[in-house]
Chain A
Amino acid sequence: SAVISQKPSRDICQRGTSLTIQCQVDSQVTMMFWYRQQPGQSLTLIATANQGSEATYESGFVIDKFPISRPNLTFSTLTVSNMSPEDSSIYLCSVWRGYGYTFGSGTRLTVV
């Protein structure tokens, strides 16, 4: 299965600041998916990032808050902007690998 590297693995940030999370895949993929997992909750899809086009956001998520870049077929970034404590979550990226989805190990974000 694909190897996905996510950086940073964790961070503690001040409210009002922004954090950019990187996701690097070891092979080319068409679509990359970004999820959020709030404490004690299941995963919620934020957006789908397709190389060469704007990301598609799910209901409740907007580009101004979670801008996404997809500069090539192996890399994507998710920025969490103007953070508040409610943004404290694990953020995960995921790619399709022919039989199922592979997930990164996640970025654990704490906003203080």
Chain B
Amino acid sequence: DAKTTQPTSMDCAEGRAANLPCNHSTISGNEYVYWYRQIHSQGPQYIIHGLKNNETNEMASLIITEDRKSSTLILPHATLRDTAVYYCIVRATLGGAQKLVFGQGTRLTINP
């Protein structure tokens, strides 16, 4: 699976949009971009995934560049409960036979 690079930490004001970048310059054509987050002392939570088109769900939006070498997770109106470590992961296929490999992620702190 392709390696990802994320900033170690970020801060965002409550109510503002949080934009979390991820570089995955070696991504292959069949690899998806997944985002998970881990709130303190809990198991990771799925947020969103995409292949090449931008995606939006009730939690976030995922913007993938045209060359697919980077992406941005957007939390449109961050709340204090969005404080967590966010992991960007790329992996092939949508199937469940492949493992997830976690990097160090971005520690996002939402400030009041």
Contact = CB atoms under 8 A, between A and B. Distances in A.
Summarize A's interface: helix, strand, loop or mixed: strand
B104 A42 contact: yes
Counting chain A residues whose Cβ lies within 8 A of the other chain, the interface size class is 20 to 34
Contacts of B102: 42-44
A103 B44 contact: yes
Chain B, interface SS category: loop
B96 A96 contact: yes
Interface string A56-70: 000000000000000
Contacts of A94: 43-44, 100
Interface in A1-47: 1, 4, 29-31, 33, 42-45
Contacts of A102: 46
8 contacts: A4-B43, A31-B97, A42-B103, A45-B99, A96-B96, A100-B49, A103-B43, A104-B43
